[in-house]
Structure 1
C-alpha cells in the first residue's frame, strides 16, 4: 500500500508539473494583455494585474485588419470543414463498406499523401494557383479542402470497421440505395466520430498560418493568424506586448472554447477509432 501511495504521489506531482508548464504561458499571455507597457516589465512580475487595464483590447478593436482577419478566418474554416466533412464521410463509407476494385490500393496511395511534407508540394501548388489567378484570394485555402481530409477519412474508416456489414446488407434487402444507406443509417451511427474530427479539423484550419502567408498579400484578404504575425512584427519593436497578447487571446478563445466543450467527444473518438472489433 505504501508503494502504491508513493507512486500515486509521484504521478500526481509529474502531472501537476506538466500542467503548470503548459498552462503557465497561457495565463501569462492573458495577464500581459491586461497590463500597460510598463506593467509588463515590472519586478516582481504580477500574475494578476493591479489595476486591470483593457486599453490593449480597445486599441485592438479599432484596427480594421482585425475585423477582416476574423471574417476571413471564419469563412475559410467553416466552409472547408463543413463541406469537407461531408465528402470525407462519404469517402470513408466507400472505403470501409463498398465493394470496389483496388480500393485498398487506392486508400494506401491516399495515405502516402500524409507522408509527403507540405514544403515539398508548396512551390508546385503556388505555381498552379498563380497560373489560374487564385493568388491573393481565399480560393487556395478553401477549394482543396472541399474534397475531403485524408486524416478524417482514415479515422472514420477505422470507426466504420466496427459497424457490422449485416446492417448494410439488411438495408439493401429492404430496397435502400447507397445514398439512403449513408444518409439515414451510416451517418447517424458515426456522428460522434464525425463531430470529433470536425472539431479537430476546425481547430487546425483556424490556426493555419503557413498557407495564408503564402497565398494572401492584401491586408483585407489576410486571415487572423497572419494579422497577428504582422502585429507582432510592427509592435514588438515598440515593446507593445499587451496589444500583441490581446490579439493572441482573441485568436485563442474560439478554439479553446470548442476544445473545452467537446474534449470528451474528441478523446472518445480517437480511442474508439484506434480499436478494431
Structure 2
C-alpha cells in the first residue's frame, strides 16, 4: 500500500491485489447470505409447496415418486371436492371466520386502550397491572385450561362460539406490544393536545391511535393467526359438530382417510389460504409495526 507524504492529507487507495482480496471477501459474504436466505426459504416454504403439490395430484400420479415431482403433469381438483363432501368445510370455515374476526376486533380495541393507559396515564396500581400482563405471558396456556373451562361452564357459554372467543379476547402480548408502541409517542404531542383543550379520550383517538397503525396491524395478524389456528381449546369447549372450527373439523380427515394424503393435503391448503391472504393484505403495516412495538430496554 502506497503512503502519501506526511502533511499532504491524502491517502492513496489500496493496491490492486488488496482490492481483489476485498472484492472476493465481499462476494463470498454476499454468496453466504443469499445461500442462507435460500435455505430458510426452502425450510419455510417447502412443506407448504409440497402440500399444494400433493393436493393437486390425481389418483394415477405417484405421490412418493423418486425424484419428487413438485409440479404434477395432470393437475386435478378432485381432492378439494372430496373434502367438501366429507365434512361441511364451508360451515366450519364460517365458524372460524366469526371467531377470528371477533378476536381481532376485541384485541385491537382492548390492547390499544390498555396499552395507552399503561404508557401515557398515571393511576394507582399501574406497575401492578403491568406485572400482571408480564406474568400472564410466562404462564403456559395448558396450566389454566381447566380453570378456563370451569369458568365458561359456570357462565353457561360452553359449547358456543362465545366460549371460544372470550378467553382470547385480549392477549397479554398484544397489550405489551401496544404499550411499548404508545410509549414511543413523544410526550410533546400529548402536551400539545392538552394545551389545545383535548381530553384523554380525544388525545387517545386523534394522536395515539393514528401513530401506532403499524403495531395495530401486528396485533391483528397475531390475533387472527392465533384464533384461526386454535385447536385444543375449541376441541375442549365445543361438543356440537355444527359449531366446530375449521381446524377441529378437518381433523376428521386424518381419521377417515389415512390412506389418501391428497384429501388431507387439500384440507390443509384450505385452512392455510386465509392466513396467507390476511398476512399479505397487512404486510406493509406489519414490518413497520414490528419496530413500533419492539421491546425497549
TM-score of the aligned structures, taking structure 2 as reference length: 0.86
Instruction: Say if 2:123 is the partner of 1:103.
Output: no
1:72 touches 1:222 (CA, 8 Å); kept in 2? yes
Q: Alignment partner for residue 177 of structure 1, among 175, 199, 206?
A: 199
Does residue 72 in structure 1 map to residue 92 in structure 2? no
| Larger gyration radius, structure 1 or structure 2 | 2
Partner in structure 2 of residue 31 of structure 1: 53
What pairs up with 1:14-53 in 2 under 5 angstroms? 14-44=36-66, 45-53=68-76
Q: Would you tell me which structure has more helix in proportion to its own residues?
A: 1
Deviation at 1:131?
A: 2.9
Task: Tell me if 1:211 matches 2:228.
Answer: no
Q: Which moved more, 1:210-219 or 1:168-177?
A: 168-177
DSSP 3-state at the match of 1:39:
coil
Name the Cα RMSD after superposition: 1.9
Larger RCO: Structure 1 or Structure 2 (Cα < 8 Å, ≥ 6 residues apart)? 1
Residue of structure 2 equivalent to 1:54:
77
Question: Contact between 2:95 and 2:245, CA under 8 Å: does it hold in 1?
Answer: yes
- Note the residue ranges of structure 2 that are not aligned, 5 or more in a row: 1-21
Q: Deviations over 1:149-184 (max 9, x none)?
A: 211111111111121222222222322222122112
Change (3 A) 1:175 1:12: same
- Structure 1 unmatched runs, 5+: none
In 2, Cα distance between equivalents of 1:266 and 1:183 = 21
Say whether the 8 Å CA contact 1:81–1:145 is kept in structure 2. Answer: no
1:257 aligned to 2:277? yes
- The alpha carbon displacement at 1:4 in A equals 2.0
Q: How far apart are residue 255 of structure 1 and its match?
A: 0.7
The match for 1:191 is 213
> Shift of the alpha carbon at 1:265?
2.3
> Which residue of the other structure, out of 278, 286, 289, is the alignment partner of 1:266?
286
Please, which moves more after superposition, 252-261 or 93-102?
252-261
Relative to structure 1, is the Cα distance of residues 17 and 145 closer, same or farther in structure 2, using a 3 angstrom cutoff?
Answer: closer
| Aligned-partner Cα distance in 1 for 2:135–2:216 | 22
Provide the C-alpha distance between the structure 2 equivalents of 1:248 and 1:110, rounded to a whole number of angstroms: 34
Residue number among 244, 256, 265 corresponding to 1:245 in the alignment? 265
> Does the 8 A contact of 1:32 with 1:40 survive in 2?
no
Count of aligned pairs = 274
The CA deviation string for residues 129-158 of structure 1, in whole angstroms up to 9 with x for no partner, is: 223322211122112333x22111111111
Which of the residues 122, 144, 156 maps onto 2:167? 144
Give how far 1:272 is off.
Answer: 3.0
Instruction: Report how far residue 64 of structure 1 moved.
Output: 4.9
| Residues in 2 aligned to 1:138 and 1:275: alpha-carbon distance in whole angstroms | 33
Rounded Cα–Cα distance in structure 2 between residues aligned with 1:10 and 1:273:
31
> Is residue 220 of structure 1 aligned with residue 242 of structure 2?
yes
